[in-house]
Amino acid sequence: MSITDLRKIPCRACGEDVLAVTIESANPSRHPPFQEQLLDRELLKMPCPHCDAEHRHYDRFTWIDLPGRLCVVVLHESERPDWPELETEALRELSVPLRDEGPRFVREFGDTVSIRLVFGLEELREKVVCRIHDLDDRMVEAMKEDLVYGATLDAAEPGMNLTFNDGEERSFDVGWQVFEETAARTDELTAALPGIFDPRATWVNTRRSRRAPLRDDVAPPLPRG
Taking the CA atoms of 50, 52, 53 and 54 in sequence, report the sign of the dihedral they define. Answer: positive
Q: Is the pLDDT of residue 18 over 80?
A: yes
Buried b (16+ CB within 10 A) or exposed e, 208-219: bbebeebeeeeb
Reduced to 3 states (helix: H, G, I; strand: E, B; else coil), residue 181 is helix
Residue 29 DSSP code: T
What is the structure's pLDDT at 95?
A: 80
Q: Is the pLDDT of residue 70 over 50?
A: yes
- 22 CB-side CA count, 13 A: 19
Q: Is the pLDDT of residue 82 over 60?
A: yes
Backbone torsions φ then ψ of 164, nearest 5 degrees: -115, 155
What is the structure's pLDDT at 130?
A: 97
Contact 196, 149 (CB under 8 A): no
- CA angle 53-55-59, nearest 5°? 150
Mean pLDDT along residues 112-126: 95
| 102 — pLDDT class (breaks 50, 70, 90) | low
Backbone torsions φ then ψ of 88, nearest 5 degrees: -65, -45
Mean pLDDT along residues 7-17: 96
- 122 conformational bin, left if phi > 0, alpha if psi -120 to 50, beta if neither: alpha
Note the Cα 91 to chain centre separation in Å: 13
Instruction: In whole angstroms, give the CA distance from residue 26 to residue 43.
Output: 11
Contact 126, 137 (CB under 8 A): yes
- 107 conformational bin, left if phi > 0, alpha if psi -120 to 50, beta if neither: alpha
Instruction: In whole angstroms, give the CA distance from residue 58 to residue 67.
Output: 24
- CA angle 98-64-163, nearest 5°? 120
| 109 — pLDDT class (breaks 50, 70, 90) | confident
Instruction: In whole angstroms, give the CA distance from residue 3 to residue 185.
Output: 40
What is the structure's pLDDT at 57?
A: 97
Q: Is the pLDDT of residue 219 over 70?
A: no
Instruction: In whole angstroms, give the CA distance from residue 89 to residue 222.
Output: 7
Instruction: In whole angstroms, give the CA distance from residue 103 to residue 132.
Output: 28
- Among 13-17, 39-43, 79-83, 85-89, which stretch is predicted with the lowest mean pLDDT? 85-89
Q: Is the pLDDT of residue 185 over 50?
A: yes
Convert the pLDDT of each residue in 146-159 to its tens digit. Answer: 999 999 999 999 99
